[in-house]
Structure 1
């Protein structure tokens, strides 16, 4: 049964991942970021210059405010269907940039001039970094690039700075930090792979639920979802033209009775294949009923759609032993999809009444 091609499938997986990524930022990530900021100045207040801590806090808050704006813009564009599988990875890159920018001032804390108890302060900073990395990995597992970027940006400079002190205590702490990075890297890979497998299974199941098993064309469930997005919700939205063709195999019952139901199923599959081969990628082909097929020609006016409709009719006549009759109608403002299909059905009936093997157009 035909489904999504590999490229479209992988883009859809990334699209779902990126939506989960921003959803995690909304539910826990951004709020937690603002709360965790307080732990650095509260603990280090006796050991670090107060002006430096206040500047650090202001910088981190400012970066997190930018991340909030990024999240809001993503949600706004997603609601308007401007975020698609084709550009989802760009928005993941924006998110990675934001989390990396957040990590830079956190990494800078290990370079603070600690006025007393420097080892204890370094250990506290390291514990904060390991804790935030564990939280980031749990919240943002939808994006391996996000978790690894934050891990590298925050922990690598921290461990290098601690090791630079040269004492055996510092070397042991750095070694433990390296072990933590190795463990986190493995966990990130495992969780990322498991999540992607779950998303892939979800997409495949959704795909199957929206496909006609015999022909591989879309079914009415997907048609309803597709047309609800196609029709403008209000008068302020731009009306994108489209046409609907409803077709029916001529004398299909007679063909079934003569050749048997298996041959009838093969014929339906053949016609579905010919339809797919002769429509554009943006068009939608649906098995509408037993031997009825519906096609939505997206972005085409009537005179443009009729050329494709005629090509489909002719190729079916040439490649099979049957013909089809069809009604073709263009959507007009204010008409819902149900009324539009009823108009196409009337034209289909007219085509059959007029001798079949033709496309009747609404003029």
Structure 2
């Protein structure tokens, strides 16, 4: 009896430290850069006592999770756009999260119907125009207008930001018209698709083109960069399609890993990231728009004015992702 009791006590003594260790941490795989998320994690730890361990990467998250399987230490996954969230979802690497806090804080169009992922911040796929053109009112469709032949710059059509935009065009116009748009847009390119969103603004500054596509937050970041400010000063930031369906909006997002070992702490971190405090910090740091209504944008972002956003849900847009890639190939857009 004594031996049995001792064994039970020893078992409990061994288990409790393990449980306490698990209860004091949460593991994050992040596509978002350290300067964006570490301040948030520091505040979360101060509030809860839960340590946040982070693995930063630019690619390969889905492959790593699949390789690690049920032994993966990942609890939370942070991504930079809808395409990567959908990739994780389609590969069955996420789990549904039951949270009234998340449901209320994140607009329906920025969350999945099965509760596997949620948006955290928004960014607009803007059209940048040279100040040589003066004030212009543009739509994405206008980029294919023959009058802009040889005057448009863009990064690769296969980049996730552009794939999402093409997906939204398919949702709005169908595949046939979107293919025609891509073919005509390609005719208007000043050079082969290349570089980053910032690189396109630099090209406008260098008089290589007059129009380019780029996410809204890059404009703010360039204005705050001593070297790149001269590029940003050469362009106007335009919110497309304000006369009809509205500008295409993408998100950074969060999801819980399928085999999260610290699910309770993971949920607490997810809910913290949609709190008013975190939303303000997150949006301010990278010049993005909070998904939570009522949270103010930064003064600089506010100076660009208000805009009308496409009301179509990102989940609906993402359904056209594979078709978008096929159309880009068919148009030989990057060649």
Same fold (TM over 0.5): no
Larger Rg: 1
Greater share of residues in helix: 1
TM-score of the superposed pair, with normalisation by structure 2: 0.21
Where relative contact order (Cα < 8 A, 6+ residues apart) is larger, the structure is: 2
TM-score of the superposed pair, with normalisation by structure 1: 0.20
